[in-house]
Every structure is written in C-alpha cells, then in structure tokens.
Amino acid sequence: MVVAEWNKHITEKLLNGALSTLQENHFSPAQIEVLHVPGSFELPHGAQLLFDKGCDAVVCLGCVIQGDTPHFDFVCQAAADGILHTGLSMKKPCVFGVITTLTEEQAQDRAGGKHGNKGSEAALTACWMIAGRQHLNQ
C-alpha cells in the first residue's frame, strides 16, 4: 500500500478501508506493507519501491481535489500514467486508488461516504488480481 499524505484527512479513510478489506480477505498485518509519500504525483515511485522490496501487488491511494489552476490535470495524469506504467513494467498489479474530484464533498463521499470507500474497492481489485495471477500460474 502506498498512500499520499496530501489530503491526509481523505487518504487515511481510504487506507483504513483498504486495510479492512485486506483483513476480510485473510491477509495478515505481516503481509501488508504501508509506505507514505508526499502526494499523488509520488505514488508511482512509492509503488516501485514496494515492488523492489518484493511485494506481489501495490495499491496506490491518493486524493486530488480540483483547484483554480491546471495543476489538478497534471497531477492526475502523471499519477494515472505512472501507476499504469509501473504495474506493466513490473508485470504485477499496481492498482489505481486515487480519488480525483471537483470538490471536498465529492472526496468525502468516496472515502467512506454515500459512494462507499474507494480504498476498499482498490484493495479488493488487488485481491482479485493476485488470485487471477495465482490461478494462471497453477
């Protein structure tokens, strides 16, 4: 798990949802590594560090809320491209669990609010991808 510190009040909720989902899917705390990075732009590099450590999958959790400048677009695009590239280059699941919203309210809704917890959904995606890889390697 690599988690952006920017918008920490949101990313902590995503992390808690992801950790609960992993525990529900029989992952022990010893099997889960959490690395914090400054922001969503740094998520791909954090994922690379976890893969280098031997992780089978990485869930990237972040939150980017649109402001008054195009900075939002650059960060979102870089995070998405970097996460995709990292997973493909490592040939392992690198899951996009980054909330990209227009408002704080939308972010809250996706971090345990009326739209569920996208961190939990990202962790479940990692579980599916790990299971699929194991199935193919049998």
Sequence-ordered list of residues with C-beta below 8 angstroms from that of 138, at least 6 positions apart, any chain: none
Which amino acid makes up residue 33?
E
Instruction: Please identify which of the residues 9, 26, 71, 135 carries the catalytic annotation.
Output: 71
Cα(114)–Cα(129) distance, rounded to whole angstroms?
26
- Residues 93 and 58 sit within 8 Å (Cβ to Cβ): yes
Give yes or no: 45 in active site: no
The phi, psi pair for 98, rounded to 5°, reads -105, 125
Query: Which positions are annotated as active-site residues?
Result: 71
